Structure 1
């Protein structure tokens, strides 16, 4: 049920902190993986590693999710070479923001565009081909902050402040996911989201005081590691989830139970 052989999967932000582990899970189960991001060198490096580790086809592409032209060119390239995109993983994110009293309109708009705007553009680009084939899976990466508000006391001694436009954009992703599920489910398209909890990158993890604060709020008493997302993305990309549609899977160690 989890076999992804002959499945063509496009993942944006594929060579990033969380994307890399998602790619590993998908490649291990046989997917033909299209690794997209703005850093083509990182994409190439990861693609080579995955091919060496698992022996399947993996292709790096340059894709800028802020640009309709870049997205459409990438989708056309994939369709020309593979005739389909079975699964889209909307993982890429970009943004800027700070406290509401000091954030500019441009910074606010960038955070919204880098979350829900990029998901909208990529989804719109792949939908015609999925509709034509009568099959598709869309996996959107949201956040626990699309569900709950951040505890600002965690951020009062560091520079990792979580801005309002981040959570607002991630909440919009969850709603957009449900919309796609409701409108296009009858055409064989499943749309689901994953909301990771605290998954700080390796640089942030050097701040022991901050990490201690995060872990204290998690019932499992640890931060998430990228590999913790492998199971959920594999489930939603595979035939094991053929009757899962419009769901948000929260991978947060229990953070949002409080």
Structure 2
């Protein structure tokens, strides 16, 4: 892949939540393009299973490490371990998310705080540990995963009685990630570090697709392309932002949403 600007050969990539619904697809694309990939999350068993699957499929090493992005010590320990082994970190994808559901009137302050902790605060913790490494290297790409609901507010009418309503803290925390991305790009661009954001549109998981047919129809009707997204449709943008093909792209929030945010 020497002459391929999308090649990820010799790049060390950490992806948090790398064995989850969307993270697993992005992680696979990194492996496919030649990177040394570390799946990082609290669920080490799931990480181990998925790393074995990828290693067998692509006949290469795929690594995993336990990292609780809600815990600064856990993040620091995991990053230190990877640095001892790899001596560099080229790309970090902040994909992990954990948060509460709920409505504005019935949700609690605890729901709000815990959702921020598992979103923007988790992104901050990882970047806080990785950034000095990238500054020292004079290179690096940080990819933050936000959401279309960090750009536009959810239309309550499409949710009906599905129980899938997006809570108030979700979109506001994702909007914070988008702004944080721009801040970092502005302050560290001269250090050779690029920071960008991907905002996925409607990518409901398999369980939602199977059990919420009316809601799924509403999602498709709202979308200009008339359908939901498939996890593999995040692979192209993920590889682009991780590779040298995006060497002059920074501070951007790229919506992969089938056109959702045009309205």
- TM-score (norm: length of structure 2): 0.97
Cα deviation, 1:56-79, whole Å, max 9, x if unaligned, reads: 321011111000011000000000
1:239 has 2:244 as partner? yes
SS in 1 for 2:178: helix
Counterpart in 1 of 2:99?
95
In 2: Cα distance, 1:125 partner to 1:217 partner: 40
SS in 1 for 2:154: coil
Cα deviation, 1:126-145, whole Å, max 9, x if unaligned, reads: 01111111101000000000
CA positional deviation for 1:50? 1.2
Gaps of 5+ in 1: none
Superposed, 1:84-233 pairs within 5 Å as 84-206=88-210, 207-233=212-238
1:49 has 2:61 as partner? no
1:25 has 2:59 as partner? no
- TM-score (norm: length of structure 1): 0.99
CA positional deviation for 1:187? 0.2
CA positional deviation for 1:119? 0.5
Gaps of 5+ in 2: none
1:251 has 2:261 as partner? no
In 2: Cα distance, 1:50 partner to 1:2 partner: 20
In 2: Cα distance, 1:56 partner to 1:5 partner: 12
Structure 1 range deviating more: 238-247 or 93-102: 93-102
In 2: Cα distance, 1:151 partner to 1:104 partner: 22
Question: Considering only aligned residues, what root-mean-square deviation do their CA atoms show, in Å?
Answer: 0.8
Cα deviation, 1:92-120, whole Å, max 9, x if unaligned, reads: 00111311111111111011111111111
1:9 has 2:5 as partner? no
In 2: Cα distance, 1:20 partner to 1:161 partner: 24
**Structure 1 segments (4+ residues) deviating >6 Å:** none
2:43 aligns with one of 39, 44, 47: 39
